[in-house]
C-alpha cells in the first residue's frame, strides 16, 4: 500500500482543525483596577458599609459607631507568597482628612442609608451603603440604589418560648466562678468585645456582654459566614442536590469542558485550594497576578459574577491561598441549585439551614445585585451563632433529623493538608494557636476575632463577637474557654 500524499503547504502557525463546539470557553476574566482612584473609591465604600452595618443592622447609636470605627486604607491584592501590609500612616492620613472636614459621613435613619464623601484634590468621591431590613448592609458605591428589589424575605417564625437551643428561651446559667474570673481578664484586655457565650448542646453555661453588647444584638460575622456556607453545602449533599465535595464545582459560568475551571472541585473551594486569582492593573500600566481577599467588601459589584470570572492561576488543589472568591463561587452554585428547583432564592437559602436551626436573627449581607454574600458579612446574636456550634456537636442532627451527611463534621472540622491548620471553611487548633485548648478544637473564624469554637470531645461550643479592627486578648480568651472545660 502506498503512503498517502501530504499537502503541498503546511501552515506551521495555525491549527485549522474546527473548534470543539461544546461550550463558549472560559468566562471573560475580571481585571482588578489597582489605580489610586479606584483604591480611594474602595476606602469610602467600605466606610459606608461599616457605618450602615453598625447603625442599622447591629443597632448601635451614632456615638458608639463613631467610637468603634477605624479607617482602613485599601491595598492592592497580594501575590501568591505575600499580602500587602496595612499602612498606619495611610490610616492616620484618612483620620486627619475627616477631622479637617474633607471626609464627611452622613446617615439617614429614614432610608437606613449612609453616604461618605471625600473631597480629594479637586474631585469628590462618594460611597454609599443601605441596610433594608433583612439584607445586612448593601454596598452601593457611587450608585444610589440596589439593582434588585430588597422585598421582605419570608422567614420561619421560630420557637421563642422553647428552651435554647431549639428555641430562644435561655435559662439563667448557674455561677461558674473560675469562668467568670477568666472572663473579667478577657473583657479588661479586649475593649472591642461585644460578648462571649459558652454552651453545651443542652444549655447555656456562661454568657456575658459589654456595655455595647446584648443578648439580642446582632453582630458581624465577617468570615465566620464561610462556615455557614460550608454547612449549606453539606445540607445540599444530604438533600441529594449535590453528590460529593470531591465532585467538580459546577458553577453557572464554568460550563465549557475545555476550561481549566473544570478541574476545581467543591473541596478545593471549601479548603482554599482553588487556585483562583486575577490580573491586577496598576496605575503605570503594569499587570500583576493578585489573589483577592476583600474586594467583595470594597466593590459595589455582583460578587458571584466577580468570583466566577477569576482565572485559574495555580493548579487546583496544590496551593493554599485564603481568598473570598472561592466561597462566593460556592454561593453562586447554591443559588443555582435553589433556583433550578423553582424556589425563591433568598427565602430558600435561609430555609436550608438558618431557619431550620431557629437562627432567627441571622442574616446575610446582600450585594448590589441581590446575591447573599457567601464569604462573610453576615449577622446574628451570639445565641444564634452558638446554634451552629451545637449542630456540629450533635454530628449534624437537629431535633432528631439528620441535616448533614454522616461524617460531615469530621470532614469540615479536620484539616487534611499538611502545612495548614485550615479545614473546610473552619480553622483547627492543629498549630496550637490556643495552647490552652486541645489540638482537635476547631472554630469558625472571622476578621477581628469573631469565632464559634467547637470542642467535640468536651461537648462545648463558644461564640465570641468583637468589634471590627479592635484587638482581643487571645490568651485570655483561651483561658476563659479552658476554665469552662474544667468547670464541667
* Integer Cα distance of 464 and 466 in angstroms: 7
Q: How far apart are CA 162 and CA 350, in angstroms?
A: 20
Which residue, among 269, 333, 281, 324, has the nearest Cα to 301 in the 3D structure? 324
Q: How far apart are CA 96 and CA 120, in angstroms?
A: 13
pLDDT of residue 18: 60
Helix (H) or strand (E) holding 410: helix 408-413
Q: Residue 128: how many CA atoms within 13 Å on its side-chain side?
A: 13
pLDDT at site 419: 82
pLDDT of residue 146: 98
Q: What is the pLDDT of residues 446-457, one digit of tens each?
A: 999 999 999 999
Contact 30, 310 (CB under 8 A): yes
Contacts of 236 (CB under 8 A, 6+ apart): 242, 334, 337, 352
Q: What percent of the chain has pLDDT over 70?
A: 95
Q: In the chain, what percentage of residues exceed pLDDT 90?
A: 91
- CB contact set of 344 (below 8 Å; sequence gap of 6+): 154, 338
Closest alpha carbon to 51 in 360, 449, 450, 468: 468
Give residue-wise pLDDT tens across range 286-345: 999 999 779 999 999 999 999 999 999 999 999 999 999 999 999 999 999 999 999 999
Closest CA to 264 of 246, 238, 279: 246
Per-residue pLDDT, 249:
98
The predicted pLDDT at position 456 comes to 98
Mean pLDDT score of the chain, rounded to an integer?
A: 95
φ/ψ of residue 416, rounded to 5: -120, 5
As given in the structure block, the three cell numbers for residue 136 are 445586612
Indicate the pLDDT class of residue 85, thresholds 50, 70 and 90.
confident
Give the SS3 label for residue 112: coil
So what's the pLDDT on residue 8?
A: 62
Compute the distance between CA of residue 142 and CA of residue 135 in angstroms, rounded to an integer.
19
Q: In whole angstroms, what is the distance from residue 102 CA to residue 161 CA? A: 51
Confidence band for 430, pLDDT divided at 50, 70 and 90: very high
DSSP secondary structure, 177-246, as one string = HHHHHHHHHHHHH-TTEEEEEEE-SS-EEEEEE-TT--TT--EE-TTHHHHHHHHHHHHHHHHTSS--TT
CA atoms of 146 and 344, how far apart (whole Å): 18
The residues with which 115 forms a beta bridge, in sequence order, are: 106, 128
pLDDT for 381-429, tens place per residue?
Answer: 999 999 999 999 999 999 999 999 999 999 999 998 888 899 999 999 9
At 219-267, the pLDDT tens digits run 999 999 999 999 999 999 999 999 999 999 999 999 999 999 999 999 9
pLDDT at residue number 292: 78
Please state, in angstroms and as integers, the Cα–Cα distance from residue 155 to each residue in 63, 137, 350, 359, following that order: 32, 18, 7, 10
pLDDT at residue 25, rounded to an integer: 85
Residues found in the chain? 488
Q: Please tell me the predicted confidence (pLDDT) of residue 151.
A: 98
Query: How far apart, in whole angstroms, are the C-alpha atoms of residue 314 and residue 274?
Result: 8
Predicted local distance difference test score (pLDDT) of residue 7: 60
Q: Can you give the pLDDT at residue 13?
A: 60
pLDDT of 312: 97
Amino acid at each position: 500500500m502506498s503512503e498517502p500524499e501530504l499537502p503541498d503547504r503546511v501552515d506551521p502557525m495555525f491549527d485549522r482543525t474546527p473548534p470543539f463546539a461544546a461550550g463558549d470557553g472560559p468566562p471573560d476574566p475580571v481585571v482588578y483596577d489597582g489605580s489610586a482612584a479606584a483604591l480611594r473609591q474602595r476606602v469610602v465604600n467600605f466606610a459606608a458599609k461599616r457605618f450602615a452595618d453598625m447603625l442599622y443592622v447591629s443597632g448601635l447609636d451614632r456615638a458608639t459607631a463613631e467610637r468603634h470605627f477605624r479607617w482602613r486604607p485599601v491595598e492592592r491584592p497580594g501575590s501568591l507568597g505575600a499580602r500587602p501590609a496595612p499602612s498606619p500612616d495611610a490610616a492616620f492620613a484618612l483620620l486627619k482628612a475627616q477631622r479637617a472636614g474633607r471626609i464627611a459621613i452622613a446617615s439617614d435613619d429614614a432610608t437606613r442609608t449612609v453616604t461618605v464623601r471625600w473631597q480629594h484634590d479637586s474631585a469628590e468621591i462618594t460611597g454609599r451603603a443601605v441596610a433594608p431590613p433583612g439584607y445586612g448592609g448593601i454596598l452601593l458605591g457611587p450608585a444610589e440604589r440596589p439593582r434588585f428589589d430588597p422585598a421582605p424575605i419570608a422567614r420561619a417564625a421560630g420557637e421563642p418560648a422553647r428552651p435554647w437551643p431549639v428555641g430562644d428561651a435561655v435559662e439563667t446559667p448557674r455561677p461558674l466562678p473560675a469562668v467568670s474570673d477568666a472572663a473579667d481578664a478577657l473583657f479588661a484586655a479586649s475593649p472591642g468585645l461585644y460578648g462571649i457565650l459558652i454552651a453545651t448542646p443542652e444549655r447555656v453555661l456562661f454568657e456575658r456582654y459589654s456595655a455595647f453588647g446584648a443578648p439580642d444584638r446582632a453582630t458581624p460575622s465577617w468570615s465566620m459566614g464561610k462556615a455557614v456556607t460550608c454547612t449549606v453545602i453539606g445540607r445540599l449533599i444530604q438533600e441529594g442536590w449535590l453528590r460529593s465535595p470531591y465532585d467538580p464545582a459546577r458553577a453557572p459560568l464554568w460550563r465549557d469542558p475545555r476550561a481549566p475551571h473544570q478541574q476545581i472541585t467543591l473541596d478545593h473551594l471549601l479548603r482554599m485550594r482553588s487556585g483562583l486569582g486575577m490580573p491586577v492593573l496598576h496605575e503605570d500600566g503594569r499587570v500583576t497576578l493578585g489573589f483577592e481577599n476583600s474586594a467583595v467588601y470594597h466593590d459595589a459589584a455582583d460578587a458571584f459574577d466577580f468570583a466566577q470570572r477569576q482565572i485559574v492561576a495555580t493548579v487546583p488543589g496544590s496551593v493554599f491561598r485564603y481568598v473570598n472568591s472561592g466561597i462566593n463561587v460556592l454561593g453562586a452554585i447554591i443559588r443555582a441549585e435553589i433556583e433550578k428547583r423553582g424556589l425563591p432564592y433568598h427565602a430558600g437559602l435561609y430555609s436550608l439551614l438558618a431557619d431550620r436551626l431557629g437562627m432567627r436573627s441571622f442574616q446575610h449581607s446582600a450585594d448590589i445585585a441581590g446575591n447573599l454574600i457567601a464569604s462573610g458579612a453576615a449577622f446574628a446574636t451570639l445565641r444564634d451563632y452558638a446554634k451552629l456550634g451545637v449542630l456540629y456537636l450533635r454530628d449534624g442532627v437537629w431535633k432528631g433529623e439528620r441535616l448533614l451527611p454522616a461524617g460531615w463534621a469530621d470532614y469540615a472540622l479536620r484539616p487534611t493538608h499538611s502545612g495548614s491548620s485550615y479545614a473546610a471553611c473552619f480553622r483547627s487548633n492543629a498549630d496550637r494557636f490556643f495552647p490552652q485548648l486541645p489540638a482537635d478544637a476547631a472554630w469558625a473564624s472571622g476578621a477581628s476575632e469573631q469565632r464559634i469554637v467547637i470542642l467535640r470531645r468536651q461537648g462545648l461550643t463558644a461564640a465570641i463577637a468583637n468589634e471590627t479592627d479592635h484587638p482581643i486578648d487571645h490568651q485570655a480568651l483561651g483561658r476563659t474557654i479552658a476554665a469552662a472545660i474544667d468547670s464541667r
